[in-house]
Amino acid sequence: MGLRHSYTLIAPFYDAAIARATEAARARSLAALPAEAGHVLLAGVGTGLDRPHLPPQHRYVGLDLTHAMLRRALPRAGRVDFTPVQGDAQRLPFTDAAFDSAVLHLILAVVPEPAHCFAEIARVVKPGGQVIVFDKFLRRGQPALLRRMINPLVRRVATRLDVVFEDLLPVAPGLALEHDQPALVGGWFRLIRLRKL
């Protein structure tokens, strides 16, 4: 089962499964968006759970692989300037340096090729812009035997459990790590901020 199909099926239940558990971390993550107005990419916008925490001064593009997710995100846009785009975060349909900031909430551990997604984000963010990440990552050398054992099954349906964030950095050498802190589940989920050089 591909991600497009599985997330079309998951869309009606996604909020019930994840909204409450991630709300505080989303708010902390999005508080790092700049005060000055800019053009912000929400890569993997899902059902729009970030919406209550989005500063109103920015123009947002919410990209998601499935129409089912975007259909749920649109009513949540409220008064922010929000444009939905259906597309693949591993092959972004945008020009180089098109955005001042990019937000990757729970997307790098979902896409089949997180390195492609991360490299694409680096491509579309302007020099001086920032990339904000909230996701689950293993640490280098972390055994996490159960996660690794069930990963081949779970990754086909919803999410990967074996992504090591530090392994993504070499594909985007123009992104400098500025901030990295544990967020949820004993540090499995992390809040990360990077700057485009």
* pTM (2 d.p.): 0.85
Cα–Cα separations (whole angstroms), residue 108 to 14, 44, 81, 169: 17, 9, 25, 12
- Residue 58 contacts by C-beta under 8 Å, 6 or more apart in sequence? 33, 37, 38, 39, 40, 80, 81, 100, 101
pLDDT in tens, 83-102: 999 999 999 999 999 999 99
Q: Confidence band (pLDDT; 50, 70, 90) for 140?
A: confident
- Class assignment of domain 3-196? alpha beta
Q: 58: which 2 tokens?
A: 């920015």
Distance of CA 125 to the CA centre of its chain: 14
| pLDDT over 70 percentage in the chain | 80
Distance, CA of 158 to CA of 167 (rounded, Å): 21
CA 26 from chain centre, in angstroms, equals 11
Token pair for 130: 């920032």
Domain residue extents for the chain? 3-196
Helix locations, 31-144, DSSP H: 67-73, 114-124
Condensed to tens digits (0 to 9), the pLDDT of residues 55-80 reads 999 999 999 998 888 988 888 878 89
Which residues, listed in sequence order, are joined to residue 84 by a DSSP beta bridge?
A: 62
pLDDT for position 148: 55
Quick one: pLDDT at residue 160? 67
| Residue 157 pLDDT exceeds 60 | no
Residue length of the chain: 197
pLDDT at 18: 72
Q: Higher model confidence: residue 189 or residue 122?
A: 122
Q: Residue 150 pLDDT > 80, yes or no?
A: no
Q: Which two tokens stand for residue 92?
A: 């972004």
Mapped onto helix, strand or coil, the DSSP state of residue 19 is helix
At 76, list the tokens. 């949540």
Task: Let me know the angle formed at the C-alpha of 126 by 120 and 128, rounded to the nearest 5 degrees.
Answer: 125
